[in-house]
């Protein structure tokens, strides 16, 4: 089956398309029109150099050295030196898919023809993407302004034959890989080094992954939350549309409609229709308000990310030979603040999930025994998995301090306000990893609790989800090494396995809401 084609710098890039290129499901390419724009922009830079007029980053030093004029014969050396001198990253390397996304996102920005990059340089970046020869990039060192200087410098060291790359899961010295493929290091032209390392692609790559993985968490939180509502004999009334029309936040309405659909035609729900309970605890009753608020935060990030995916974020911007603008499009603040918001939104999904787990252990619901096991005393039941979720939720709270609230001046004061968005991106990613674990444990507990209502049938979708879990994890009647079960249910969440049930045609149509398309990743 032939892959689709995405044209860098010409077509509209979305989170879904960026991830598809990264996964090799779509091939990225450059149109003849884009190539012509790129060549014209490079020629404009050459004209500026020939005129000898000082233009930042083309024939001057960088940062506080912006008034130091560089001779024409040394402008190329300047670009190589900037890659070397700015490659100061430390810490563990970022995941390969983050590094590859950085290449893709930088490619799309440079291809718009405002950066003075050479066509041959874009072709070499494309070669790295197409052949999955991915630069090794340290995770720490960016302050999220003047571009993600350190990580982007490491990302593009391979262009000049330096640094390391990953090929087929193994790390190699770049020069040896280039030689194996019959390629030589590039010689960068004026401004190219600066164009490569100025930009928000480190922050943006993490933001793309946050949009994707938080979306998966939000979907699973609704599904698992509905399973827990059913298992704990909660009421479906708080999900009625009449209530949410009176406070019409889109995220709230979307979640409430999904909860109603998930719980419809359930024998378990019908069995307690006339019970004496007046209202449920907030962790059940307020699922639309809490999950919905996190969805609204997710939507805010997605909208900003999509703008950034199609923006020019290096500096200076080359409009023509007479107009170059040294501005601040590289500043990460627009994404930094949204990533901090998304980090909090993810953490709250973990917080309320932990509360539902705790609730399921109390033994106050008909048929559902304390600690989710009939014979306790000699057995601790599901007491201790909640310790794990409490630890994870607490760790997340510590990670929620907004990175964008901090700024430490750099570059001898020339760069006197920075976004720290790179730190915010990494923190949000880590919080989401913890939330996936919390949701996996909630899924384990919800499935266990639901078993005690049999032979009553669940709603169709919840029944199918429960069956999927039971194919991997059996009901527990005595203590066992629950870590093995937890690993399986966490993988169900991480891999989006429950969504395979939802995406069956009949189920999918049932769960589509008025705001469905708004809250999807495309």
Residue located via tokens 């096991």: 373
**3-state SS assignment for residue 301:** helix
Q: Are 168 and 162 in contact, with CB atoms under 8 Å apart?
A: no
Query: Does a cis peptide bond (omega within 30 degrees of 0) precede residue 455?
Result: yes
CA-based torsion, 482, 487, 490, 492: positive or negative: negative
Q: What is the CB neighbour count within 10 angstroms for residue 379? A: 16
Of the listed 56, 206, 341, 429, which one is catalytic? 56
47/341 Cα distance (integer angstroms): 44
For residue 486, what are its two tokens? 């937890």
Give the closest residue to 393 by CA, choosing from 427, 346, 425. 346
Give the closest residue to 310 by CA, choosing from 5, 68, 9. 9
Q: Which residues contact 385 (CB under 8 A, 6 or more apart)?
A: 357, 441, 444, 445, 482, 486
Give the closest residue to 61 by CA, choosing from 27, 41, 86. 86
52/72 Cα distance (integer angstroms): 8
For residue 412, what are its two tokens? 């001898």
- Burial readout 408-442 (b: 16 or more C-beta within 10 A, e: otherwise): eebbeeebeebbbbbbbbbbbbebbbbbbbbbbbb
Active site residue 56: yes
345/427 Cα distance (integer angstroms): 12
Catalytic annotation, residues: 56
């Amino acid at each position: 089956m032939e892959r689709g084609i995405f044209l860098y710098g010409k077509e509209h890039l979305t989170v879904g398309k960026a991830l598809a290129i990264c996964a090799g499901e779509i091939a990225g390419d450059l149109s003849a029109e884009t190539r012509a724009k790129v060549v014209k922009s490079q020629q404009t830079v050459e004209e500026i150099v020939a005129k000898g007029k000082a233009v930042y980053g083309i024939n001057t030093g960088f940062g506080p050295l912006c008034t130091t004029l560089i001779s024409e014969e040394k402008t190329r050396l300047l670009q190589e030196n900037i890659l070397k001198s700015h490659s100061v990253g430390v810490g563990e390397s970022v995941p390969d898919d983050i590094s590859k996304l950085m290449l893709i996102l930088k490619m799309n920005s440079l291809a718009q023809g405002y950066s003075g990059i050479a066509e041959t340089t874009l072709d070499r970046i494309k070669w790295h993407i197409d052949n999955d020869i991915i630069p090794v990039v340290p995770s720490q060192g960016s302050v999220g302004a003047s571009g993600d200087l350190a990580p982007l410098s490491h990302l593009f060291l391979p262009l000049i034959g330096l640094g390391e790359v990953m090929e087929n899961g193994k790390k190699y010295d770049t020069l040896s890989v280039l030689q194996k493929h019959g390629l030589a290091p590039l010689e960068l032209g004026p401004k190219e080094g600066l164009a490569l390392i100025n930009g928000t692609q480190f922050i943006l790559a993490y933001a793309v992954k946050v949009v994707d993985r938080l979306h998966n968490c939000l979907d699973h939180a609704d599904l698992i939350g509905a399973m827990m509502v059913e298992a704990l004999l909660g009421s479906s009334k708080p999900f009625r549309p009449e209530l949410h029309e009176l406070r019409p936040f889109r995220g709230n309405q979307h979640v409430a409609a999904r909860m109603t659909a998930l719980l419809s035609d359930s024998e378990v729900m019908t069995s307690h229709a006339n019970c004496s309970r007046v209202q449920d605890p907030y962790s059940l009753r307020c699922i639309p308000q809490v999950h919905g608020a996190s969805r609204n935060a997710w939507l805010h990030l997605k909208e900003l990310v999509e703008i950034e995916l199609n923006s020019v974020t290096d500096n200076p911007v080359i409009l023509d030979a007479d107009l170059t603008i040294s501005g601040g499009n590289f500043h990460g603040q627009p994404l930094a603040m949204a990533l901090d918001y998304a980090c909090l939104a993810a953490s709250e999904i973990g917080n309320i999930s932990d509360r539902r787990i705790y609730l399921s252990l109390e033994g106050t619901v008909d048929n559902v025994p304390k600690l989710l096991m009939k014979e306790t005393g000699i057995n601790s039941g599901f007491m201790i998995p909640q310790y794990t979720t409490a630890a994870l939720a607490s760790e997340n709270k510590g990670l929620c301090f907004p990175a964008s609230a901090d700024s430490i001046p750099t570059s001898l004061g020339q760069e006197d306000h920075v976004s720290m968005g790179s730190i915010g991106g990494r923190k949000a990613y880590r919080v989401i990893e913890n939330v996936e674990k919390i949701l996996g444990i909630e899924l384990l507990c919800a499935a266990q609790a639901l078993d005690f209502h049999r032979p009553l049938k669940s709603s169709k979708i919840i029944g199918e989800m429960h069956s999927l879990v039971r194919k991997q994890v059996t009901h527990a009647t005595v203590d066992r090494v629950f870590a093995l079960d937890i690993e399986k249910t966490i993988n169900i969440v991480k891999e989006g396995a429950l969504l395979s049930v939802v995406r069956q045609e009949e189920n999918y149509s049932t769960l589509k809401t008025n705001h469905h398309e708004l809250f999807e990743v495309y």
